[in-house]
Amino acid sequence: MDRFEAMQVFVKVAELASFTRAAEQLELPRATVTHTIQQLEKRLGVRLLQRTTRHVSATPDGEAFLQRCVRLLADLQEAEDAFSRSAVRPSGKLRVDLQGTLATHFLLPHIGGFFERYPDIEIDIGLGDRIVDLVREGIDCVLRAGEPRDSSMVGRRVAMLAQVTCASAAYLKANGTPKTPADLARHRAVNYAGASGKALPFDFLVDGQARSVNLRGGVTVRHADAYVQCCQAGLGLIQLPRYHVEAALADGTLREVLAAYRPAPLPVSVLYPHSRQLSPRVRVFVDWVSERMQRGR
């Protein structure tokens, strides 16, 4: 087994934290996987993996080597793609991580169309909104809402989503309808916890200037569906992209408030590692995501 193949075995074992599962996915005998790691550790002169009867984890040296392996293997794949038929007919495995509600609303209902265009691409899709180390985790790109904050990633803006502030009809009947952001001092919110664990403020444009308001509330959630359901239950105001509550606004279940002070549209971007040439399969996926986001707004 050559060095690149040994790196692939090591990355898979570290990723799955298991020799057995790595062997299954690589379609290799477990003994071959174990021998490959032993030979790799012998050649490097360091222990890469800590083994117990139930768990496998990377040592500090293993973590450092893993980051380099992931980067080298990705670069090798990109180099091969650039000079192979995949430059014309994209192929291979693509690992992406998509913000859940964006994916389920704009992308996944139409994913069959992507495979009709590119039948030789295989996609491993993760759903979430967590901070992702693309190089460490071997992820090709992520779809995220909000302004990008990680300087190690660059990306392509694929949409600007209108945002609304709304509440249930029952809540407004019981508590009145706020006319200006100043009225919010008398109101409650369903608070949404961001990545830091803190409740996100409500944002408004007042005389062309951005203003943030923190509202008291009896419930804090971490999932968009729970956010909307708690609002429908009359627990307070919410603020989110309009697409997520379009049907509820249309049937009157929810009502928009403070429309004259709507916050700025929410940017949505596909992000990928800085200074990395996009492989053909990533490029066509990003193009497709941009197309679907534009159509679905």
pLDDT digit string, tens, across residues 51-71: 877 788 899 999 999 888 887
Q: How far apart are CA 251 and CA 14, in angstroms?
A: 50
Structural domains of the chain ordered from first start:
1-83 (1.10.10.10), 86-159+266-297 (3.40.190.10), 163-264 (3.40.190.10)
Q: Is the pLDDT of residue 220 over 70?
A: yes
Q: What is the pLDDT of residue 292?
A: 94
Q: Which of 15 and 30 is assigned the larger pLDDT?
A: 30
pLDDT digits (tens, 9 = 90+) for 269-291: 998 876 556 778 888 999 999 99
Q: Give the model's pLDDT for residue 3.
A: 87
Work out the average pLDDT over 245-265.
Answer: 95
pLDDT over 90 at 205, yes or no: yes
Mean pLDDT of the chain: 88
Report the alpha-carbon distance of residue 139 to residue 150 in Å, rounded.
Answer: 15
Percent of the chain with pLDDT over 90: 60
Residue 83 pLDDT exceeds 90: no
The whole-number pLDDT of residue 85 equals: 55
Residue 8 token pair: 């692939």
Average pLDDT (7-19) is 89
Residue, of 31 and 151, whose pLDDT is higher:
31
